[in-house]
Structure 1
Amino acid sequence: MSMLDIEDFGRVRLLKLNRPDALNAFSEALYDATAEALIDAAADPDVAVVVLTGNGRAFCAGTDLVEMGARNPGGGGVEPGVHGFGGMIDQMDSFPKPFIVAVNGLAVGVGATMLGFADLSFMSSEARLRCPFSSLGVAPEAASSYTFPLLLGRQQAMWTLLSAEWVSAEEAREMGLVWKVCPPEELMDTTMAHAQKLAALPVSSLMESKVLITHGWHDGVAAARERENAAFSRLMGAPANVEAIAAFMEKRPPDFTGM
């Protein structure tokens, strides 16, 4: 079974994260598969629009915490992917065609922060999202320290990124993180209908328009990612992160006393 299902509907390419038993959490292999799929779609003249969604009850539960724990001292290590997390975010940031995300279920970590790169986001009314970085002893990722304040405003972004609290679909819409909220049974039909409307237009016009709309965006994203990577390096494997991962594996609340 493929961990990323790929299907074309006319000029719309649908990418579906397919690790339902792991709530579509990103392993190194899934980061690589998604990056490669975006590279292929960008180069394919028959693809005008890409839609990304998840299979099962989750959209994406973030980075696989089992693999994250293995990166910590004594964890045994993880074989890095060809593209990895950073390479996938590179492709989302530079993707030249309309990129649409349909959040079908819970979205955690990168499952939430990747919405900063979506040109249009649709969300099931029963879905919710969470940025758990502080609860994992790390810091924001995927340029969310830059994209979220722009999309949500400073205080909404501050609370969403710092608190690790759940955000409902309606709250995400009110904040500006998603465009439309749909009943679960209508999510994909609504998303694909909008994707098909765009795909009926000239790809050259869609691409040139996206360049104009996102002009200046990429420099801010690059600078934010550099700052975030440095912060992540300082915090990954530090006591708070080790405790958070241990608590997750042991199915208990973390104890950050004195950290």
Structure 2
Amino acid sequence: MRDDEADMAGSDDLLADIRDHVMTIRFNRPTKRNAITYAMYERIIDLIGRAERDDTVRCLLFAGSGPIFTAGHDVSGFAQGLALAYDEKPSYIFMKRLADFSKPVAAALNGDAVGIGATMLFHCDFVYAVPDCRLVFPFADMGLIPEFASSAYLPQLVGQRRAMALLLKDRGCSAEEGIALGIVNETVAAENLAAHVANRLAGITALSPDAVAETKRLLKAGTREAIGIAIAEEARSFHDLLHSPFVRDRLAAIRQRISAG
């Protein structure tokens, strides 16, 4: 790690470093299933900004510590968010910044990706996962709607009927099914995941950064406006639903279960 990156790691809940032109952001709350707090979102937003400005960074990689990639939103964040406008929430700003990030983004799933941990994969250019891990969309169970432009990306990837089944009936899929759906690139044995991802990304970072960024811009140009609109519309609906009795009851039950466990 370079001297000017000495403060990148931040709190123990979120680790970051730069190596071989790749900035790795690692969720590091394994005892809390790597659930993402507002403070973690704020740190990620800062790191995405640094990665955008730093010409030595050619790729952004998300990873997790322990047996899970991330359980998604820390449930405490839902209560905190009620006092904020939907577009003031750190989670919303994170979604906008990642969706607009100009350089390649990769994810290395060491385990299940839940909630926003699954929907953020739609904004990753490369996704590698250990066998049998799951992408979990728990929103319907909680009385909420999927976010992060899921309503735009999923029908585009799999068609409306399969998207409805994935979100409302199955509420998730395996990594292997994710490959067939176009969400995951490859599955890799856990003991080989880090080395495999490093090798794959080395092939990307060796290319012309300008050509890579322009390729990504052109590939996303036709959907960029629609994705931005979807992120905002979903965030508004999500925020409104947080006030419903159904959601309040479900969140209270989840908090009680967490406290008891």
Q: Common fold, TM-score beyond 0.5?
A: yes
Query: Using a 3 Å threshold, how does the CA distance of structure 1 residues 6 and 71 change in structure 2: closer, same or farther?
Result: closer
Task: Give the one of 207, 230, 233 matched to 1:227.
Answer: 233
1:80-91 correspondence to structure 2 within 5 Å: 84-91=90-97
Structure 2 Cα separation of the partners of residues 141 and 83 of structure 1: 13
**Structure 1 residue ranges without an equivalent (≥5):** 253-259
State whether structure 2 residue 161 is matched by structure 1 residue 155. Answer: yes
Structure 2 Cα separation of the partners of residues 148 and 182 of structure 1: 24
Instruction: Report if aligned partners of 2:41, 2:90 keep a CA contact under 8 Å in 1.
Output: yes
Structure 1 Cα separation of the partners of residues 188 and 228 of structure 2: 32
Superposed CA offset, 1:7-63 (max 9, x none): 222212211111212111110001111111111011101111111111111111110
Q: Which amino acid aligns with 1:19?
A: R
How many residue pairs get aligned? The number is 247
- What secondary structure does 1:58 align onto? coil
Structure 1 Cα separation of the partners of residues 181 and 53 of structure 2: 33
Alignment TM-score, normalising by the size of structure 1 = 0.89
Which residue number corresponds to residue 99 of structure 1? Answer: 105
Compute the displacement of 1:166 (Å). Answer: 3.6
Which residue number corresponds to residue 140 of structure 2? Answer: 134
- What secondary structure does 2:243 align onto? coil
1:1-259 correspondence to structure 2 within 5 Å: 1-69=11-79, 71=81, 84-163=90-169, 165-251=171-257
Structure 1 Cα separation of the partners of residues 161 and 189 of structure 2: 28
Compute the displacement of 1:189 (Å). Answer: 1.4
- What secondary structure does 1:59 align onto? coil
Structure 1 Cα separation of the partners of residues 170 and 75 of structure 2: 16
Deviates more, 1:32-41 or 1:225-234: 225-234
Query: Using a 3 Å threshold, how does the CA distance of structure 1 residues 81 and 104 change in structure 2: closer, same or farther?
Result: farther
Structure 2 Cα separation of the partners of residues 128 and 180 of structure 1: 13
Alignment TM-score, normalising by the size of structure 2 = 0.88
Compute the displacement of 1:70 (Å). Answer: 5.1
Structure 2 Cα separation of the partners of residues 213 and 134 of structure 1: 31
Q: RMSD between aligned alpha carbons?
A: 2.1
**Structure 2 residue ranges without an equivalent (≥5):** 1-10
Q: Which amino acid aligns with 1:60?
A: T
- What secondary structure does 2:221 align onto? coil
Instruction: Report if aligned partners of 2:96, 2:231 keep a CA contact under 8 Å in 1.
Output: no
Which residue number corresponds to residue 7 of structure 2? Answer: none
Instruction: Report if aligned partners of 1:120, 1:179 keep a CA contact under 8 Å in 2.
Output: yes
Query: Using a 3 Å threshold, how does the CA distance of structure 1 residues 45 and 184 change in structure 2: closer, same or farther?
Result: same
Identity of aligned residues (%): 29
Structure 1 Cα separation of the partners of residues 38 and 255 of structure 2: 19
Compute the displacement of 1:71 (Å). Answer: 4.8
- What secondary structure does 2:25 align onto? strand
